[in-house]
Structure 1
Amino acid sequence: MLSIVTSLPMFAPMLTLGAYQAALYIHQRSGSLLLQPVIVTLLLVIAALWLLQIDYDQYRQAANPIALLLGPATVALAVPLYLQRHRIGQLLWPIMLTLLFGGALIIFLTLLLAWLFGAEWVTLMSLAPKSVTMPIAMLLSEQIGGNPALTAALVMLTGVVGTVMAPSLLRLAGVDSPVARGFTLGMNAHAIGTAYAVQEGGESAAFAALAMSLMGVFTALVLPWVM
């Protein structure tokens, strides 16, 4: 009976959505930033696949309908951007300066610290695009000589750690502006940080989405040229 259930076409999407709902419940009940829904969902799905002895390739193919929704979900981030278009226009120059210096500093400090700790070239190139969203980061990593699989893991880790640390650090620094908080989360923690910014309100969500998008474009244009 179990093998019949797991072979149903809707089993993988239902498993993924069920794991995400459980992760949301855990996050809401605990209130802990460490229990981010994205990482908890990942752990729950891995545990389910291991317990049920389901091959990952089989699960990935069956869960493809959810993957197809990632495109529309990403495009939907344009809605808060559109609603805040006048505010973005007012802050255009501060936004561009923050992107230029902040984006360059993120890449420089990442490579410098990794180099000081003795990281090899492949590791350095895998680390360089860690602060941008995963599809862009993996393509950049392959282009500049990194390991896309390692980059994917580092992007996930960066998003989780950034989302956990950024709110506390911003609070300690006395930063309560939704614009600054959202932009910080989007630049440093990409999609996971943007998802957290949505919980803080429309203005924070808009600037997080803007920062994530601009950081992806900036890194895609600058990083291969610098390397």
Structure 2
Amino acid sequence: MIEIWSYLAEGPLLWLTATLIAYLAGDWMFRASGRKPWMNPVLLAVLLLAGLLTVTGTNYETYFEGAQFVHFMLGPATIALAVPLYGNLHHVKRLALPILAALVAGSLTAMLSAVGIGWALGLRAETLLSLAPKSTTAPVALGISEQIGGSPTLTAVLVILTGIIGAITVTPLLNAMKITDWRARGFATGVAAHGIGTARAFQVNETAGAFAGIGMGLNALLTALIAPYVARLFL
């Protein structure tokens, strides 16, 4: 059995299959729980995969060799953000001023709060730079991090954590704040928690999901423009 496993572990399809099965299992548990926010399918998939890699003693490089197709698809998925933006262009034009104000406030708060807290705690420069784009969708965040001198690997971890935490907390938080406008709820979710938060918004309401996609796309653009200047404030 050990020899069979060693042979299979070297094959790229094994880890791609494991990734897809882990997500399907996480999604099944999410649905079985009655769509509870804390049963986030991405979080569950991460935990299942982490457990599998630990038990089998598989290093990340071997895993990524097989799962890199999923990583590749992040690029097309990011480009696909244009679809909800185009489909809701009339809403964007009509609400241009509120959207712009919310975008600037949300984007700056996401960056300044993370980098500012890290700076106050004495984190080193590379870590601070890695924190700056953590609320942006992964492909854009990795590019920003590399450009400003951060660690793309650390940024990837921070992006995933931000998305998962946002997806888990956004619904109870907005309910507690008595925010009922699906447009506002969705846009805030997309700006703060990028793709994972957007997926959660679509699970709750179609309009919220559409505006989350708009928020995610616009935040990616704005963060790419202002992240270098925000980083300089603390270096």
TM over 0.5: yes
Q: Which residue of 1 aligns with 2:13?
A: 10
Distance 2:150 2:60 in 1: 24
Cα distance in 2, alignment partners of residues 185 and 52 from structure 1: 36
Scaled by the length of structure 2, the TM-score of the pair is 0.86
Partner of 1:201: 205
Shift of 1:98: 1.2
Opposite residue 51 of structure 1, the aligned amino acid is V
Distance 2:220 2:197 in 1: 14
Tell me the distance in 2 between the aligned counterparts of 1:5 and 1:189.
36
- When residues 85 and 19 of structure 1 are mapped into structure 2, their CA distance, relative to the original with a 3 A threshold, is same
**Equivalent residues of 1:133, 1:155 under 8 A apart:** yes
Amino acid at match of 1:76: A
Inter-partner Cα distance in structure 1 for 2:92 and 2:107: 18
Between the aligned partners of 1:6 and 1:127, the Cα distance in structure 2 is 33
Does 1:133 pair with 2:131? no
The reply to whether residue 81 of structure 1 matches residue 85 of structure 2 is yes
Work out the number of aligned pairs and report it: 227
Shifted more, 83-92 versus 12-21: the winner is 83-92
> Which ranges in structure 1 are unaligned for 5 or more consecutive residues?
none
Preserved CA contact (<8 Å) 2:148 2:228: yes
Secondary structure in 1 matching 2:196? helix
Structure 1, residues 197-224: CA drift from partner, whole Å, max 9, x if none?
1112322112111111111111111121
Aligned CA distance change for structure 1 residues 127 and 29 (closer, same or farther; 3 Å)? same
Distance 1:202 1:118, change over 3 A: same
Report the TM-score when normalising by structure 1.
0.88
Contact 1:132–1:216 (Cα < 8 Å) also in 2? yes
In the alignment, which residue of structure 2 is the partner of 1:161? 165
Q: CA RMSD in A?
A: 2.1
Q: 2:107 aligns with which of 103, 109, 113?
A: 103
Q: Does 1:23 align with 2:23?
A: no
Residue 41 of structure 1 corresponds to: 45
Which position in structure 1 is the counterpart of 2:127?
123
Letter in 1 for 2:179: V
- In percent, how many aligned pairs have the same letter? 39
Once the two structures are TM-superposed, the CA of residue 178 in structure 1 deviates from its matched residue by 1.1
1:70/1:145 Cα in 2 relative to 1: closer, same or farther (>3 Å)? closer
Distance 1:171 1:74 in 2: 29
2:16 corresponds to which letter in structure 1? P
Query: In the alignment, what sits opposite 1:178?
Result: 182
Could you tell me how far apart the structure 2 residues matched to 1:32 and 1:148 are? 31
Contact 2:106/2:188 (8 A) holds in 1: no
Change in Cα spacing, 1:7 to 1:145, as seen in structure 2 (3 Å) is: closer
- Report if aligned partners of 2:74, 2:139 keep a CA contact under 8 Å in 1: no
